[in-house]
Chain A
Amino acid sequence: MSDQIERLQDPGLPEHVHRKADTDPAAADKAERQIAILFGLSALGTILFIYAYIKVPGDAFVFIPALGTTNTQQLLLGIGLTVSTLFIGLGAVHWAKTLMPDNEVIQDRHEFRSEDADRADFVKTVKEQAAAANLGRRSMIKRSLGLSLGLLGLVPLVALRDLGPLPKKSLEETSWMKGTRLVTDPGDRPIRPSDLEVGAVAQVLPALLPGEERTLSNIAKDAVLLIRVRPEEFQLSPERLSWTYQGIIAFSKICTHMGCAVALYEQQTKHLLCPCHQSTFDVPRAAKVIFGPAARPLPQLAITVDAEGYLVAQKPFTEAVGPSFWERSS
């Protein structure tokens, strides 16, 4: 790793060149005036800020070319703050560059490594003090202390246990049951097949039982997308075909990749696209993944109509909805 080639001689620091203000008092006075002007501009900025805060109404808008229409007060507060801070900075830097000393100074560096004697002394001291504490001989102290410190580390782990409940089967369950009506979101109105034309798409949720409240955590598992195509366009197994109703097919809206709402439906290609990571699902083929990082099709909800002609679930989802997890079995 050594370097044998001889070096050129170091010519040393270049000669210091004086600035105009170093030699010419008039130039120095001029620099002082410039700095004072810069600081003065800052003061004007602060005044603008205070004026905008007190006097400019919050609901006034102004058109600025290139910016478009923007809130007057927010713009003036921002410009005021800009001027008040920026010019203090410019003034200070101009001051440093024109009037403060610009002679380069050389300071020495020293290696960080301590002298050998100091290092040996240090090691000796540590050894002596450790010996004085009897750590080497009294192994029972060492072991019991190690044990208790190690156990103490469990306290934060245990104490944090109540951050949340255990998942149990909750990731595999949704609110959908046999006979649960599909209702619009928003609106909570039941839907008849005739409400959906061919090509239509709707987000639905399970109907609430009386007294039940819908939480976001429910929606995160229950959201379902209802899509109507021409029945002859389906390429489904007979079982899956029996889960549809007159060309209406229902899928979990929660992406099987990372749980985003799969909300972009291309009517012509009948593709569902997740806007987060572009996983693409083919609706007529039971939401088969045709592009992107998702590994599994969107779970299909078996639907039919009830006695009153409203769309209902035939049964709960047959697999867990949403992103994968360790305990998931399929």
Chain B
Amino acid sequence: MNSAEKKLGSVANYVDERTGAAKWLKKNLTKVFPDHWSFMLGEIALYSFIILLLTGVFLTFWFDPSQREVFYHGNYAPLSEIKMSAAYASTLNISFDIRGGLLMRQIHHWAALLFMAAIVVHLMRVFFTGAFRKPREFNWIIGVGLLTLGIVEGFLGYSLPDDLLSGTGIRIAEAIIQAMPIVGSYLAFFAFGGPFPGEVFIPRIFTVHVLLLPGIFLALITAHLMLVWYQKHTQYPGPGRTEKNVVGYPFMPVYMAKAGGFFFIVFGITAFISAVASINPIWLYGPYTPGQISAGSQPDWYMGWLDGLVRMSPNWESHLFGHTISWNILIPGLIIPGILFTSMALYPFIESWVTGDKREHHLLDRPRNAPNRTALGVTALTFTIVTLLNGGNDLIATHFSLSINQITWMTRIGVLVLPPLAFIITKRLCLSLQRADRELVLHGKETGRLLLLPHGEFVEVHQPLTDAEAFALTQHEQLQPLELEKVDSHGVRRPGGIANKLRARISRATTEQITRPSPEDIKEIEHH
């Protein structure tokens, strides 16, 4: 035993004698985690959250969350002697007078963009591989909650500097609140302490941004990770991997080093981007005043699809019995996002209702083997991308010299036509890929080597797959459509006739698939 081991041993002893944690720790420190690059996406989100906490604390030491009017006297000459809020002036101070302040601000903002991007890509990985299935529905819902709160937290964060661009964003948020039927103007007046913009909003959202939401984030992230730990990670299918085991490397030391190291890598890359690429240069926008605006006003990317939806909305408004309902705000600003996020949160339950599958799943699906789910995901992505494009319609128009009206009309039509088209194309692609898998298993890989047979025929030599490869392509389960009889075993009509019909119809669509080769199929081919 060398001295390092001795020291570690005595630390372990000290801890155990006070907590009795030895057994628990031994089990958990050697816990096995499967290895795959796509499992690092969630880690990126976690690490950018830690970076956000660290840099955020730094920023609070100098940021003055107040709308009190001050005259700026700082290092940034172009705004000298200009009247502005203390929030904006202190953000200028952080950017120009505090050493490293601009770097921290930029790391904070880039990390926020990365945080949201990592969440979205992680969510796509979980969705397309079916990792949300039983028993992981809770974690899926927590994830959807984190995504939603992340959008809010990001929006509040970039609103804090009280510059012209962010103030415009707050104005739009106020209009959405104000548009709610019956309670809208009351909620808006409560939120802003009177008419917009008032003088209390920045201090209020500061509390929400640095205390309330980060607290909820910490709680939800902790629960998210504890569930991952407790339920053990899902794994991709392959030889030796089953629903009953988990194949990978122990947490200590491999994942401690890899995950810990990866945190520093994410930090380093974020720091590098922030060192060389400017973001949210608030000094160029000037202080907020409701009478001014800059052309090309854009939200951060994760709000872009919402903004694009609002931009493409028809100008519907109803005036009934002396009241106004702004459909042009309610539909794109509240109703569609509400439907999207609710159905996203409920998706695991919807899918299990359709398939009738109530079993646990720890082996991931290859996206092609769940054509309907994959197609649905691509449909949602297409919708978001079309709306996101329209969120930048002004920039696209000016950069490519196009008509903004035509871009808007294209996306208005596109948002209705392209998602269903994407569904059909994706589903066909998945089925084609299944067919290709079947071909590969039955006939092997094309080698490109041609043989001239004695009687003059040319054939291409095919190299059969290894057992491991063939297994990986055929291990997936192929569900049959639900058989929902009109009458139950007692001859009584089942309740919910239409719902059952719908369920059976979706179930048939879900189970459309290319039959997986069986061992007999392969044997038969080998005889030829």
Q: Which residues of A contact B (CB under 8 A)?
A: 1-14, 53, 58-59, 64, 67, 70-71, 73-75, 77-79, 81-93, 95-97, 100-102, 104-109, 111-112, 160-161, 163-167, 170-171, 185, 203, 205, 215-217, 219-221, 223, 253-254, 257-261, 263-264, 275-279, 289, 291-296, 322-330
7 tightest A-B contacts by CB? A78-B275, A86-B268, A92-B261, A89-B264, A13-B240, A89-B265, A295-B317
Does B254 lie within 8 Å of A164, measured CB to CB?
no
User: B215 interface residue, CB < 8 Å from A?
Assistant: no
**In the complex the two chains form, what is the Cα distance from A9 to B316 in whole Å?**
61
Does A261 lie within 8 Å of B196, measured CB to CB?
no
**In the complex the two chains form, what is the Cα distance from A205 to B243 in whole Å?**
71
Closest chain-B Cβ to A293's Cβ sits at a distance in Å of 4
User: B168 interface residue, CB < 8 Å from A?
Assistant: yes
Which residues from chain A contact B408 at a C-beta distance below 8 Å?
A: 278, 291-292
Nearest residue (CB) in A for B479 is A1
User: B224 interface residue, CB < 8 Å from A?
Assistant: no
How many chain B residues touch A (CB < 8 A): the figure is 125
Q: How many Cβ-Cβ contacts under 8 Å join chain A to chain B?
A: 343
User: B135 interface residue, CB < 8 Å from A?
Assistant: yes
User: B498 interface residue, CB < 8 Å from A?
Assistant: no
Does A89 lie within 8 Å of B194, measured CB to CB?
no
| Interface 9-mer from B2-10, B141-149, B288-296, B489-497 | B288-296
Does B190 lie within 8 Å of A96, measured CB to CB?
no
Majority SS of interface residues in chain A?
A: loop
Known: A93-B258, A293-B310. 17 other contacts (CB 8 A): A5-B478, A6-B518, A8-B470, A59-B75, A77-B100, A82-B271, A89-B264, A163-B191, A164-B198, A167-B188, A220-B196, A259-B175, A261-B168, A278-B404, A293-B329, A326-B325, A327-B185
Q: Which residues of B contact A (CB under 8 A)?
A: 31-32, 75, 96-97, 99-100, 102-103, 106, 135, 168, 171-172, 174-176, 178-186, 188-199, 231-232, 239-240, 242-250, 253-254, 257-258, 260-269, 271-272, 274-276, 288-297, 307, 310-317, 319, 322-326, 328-329, 332, 355-357, 360, 362, 393-394, 404-405, 408, 467-468, 470-471, 474-475, 477-480, 482, 515-516, 518-520, 522
Most buried by B among A9, A53, A170, A326: A326
Nearest residue (CB) in A for B106 is A78
Which residues from chain A contact B297 at a C-beta distance below 8 Å?
A: 260, 275-276
Does A88 lie within 8 Å of B194, measured CB to CB?
no
**In the complex the two chains form, what is the Cα distance from A61 to B482 in whole Å?**
69
Closest chain-B Cβ to A12's Cβ sits at a distance in Å of 5
Which residues from chain B contact A97 at a C-beta distance below 8 Å?
A: 258
**In the complex the two chains form, what is the Cα distance from A324 to B188 in whole Å?**
12
Does A58 lie within 8 Å of B178, measured CB to CB?
no
Most buried by B among A92, A93, A293: A293
Which residues from chain B contact A296 at a C-beta distance below 8 Å?
A: 317
Contacts A73-B99, A205-B291, A293-B310; A107 near B31 (Cβ below 8 A): yes
Which residues from chain B contact A10 at a C-beta distance below 8 Å?
A: 239-240, 242, 471, 475
Contacts A5-B518, A77-B103; A164 near B172 (Cβ below 8 A): no
Contact of B290 among A3, A81, A219 (CB under 8 A): A219
Contacts A8-B474, A92-B264, A325-B324; A277 near B310 (Cβ below 8 A): yes
Does B239 lie within 8 Å of A74, measured CB to CB?
no
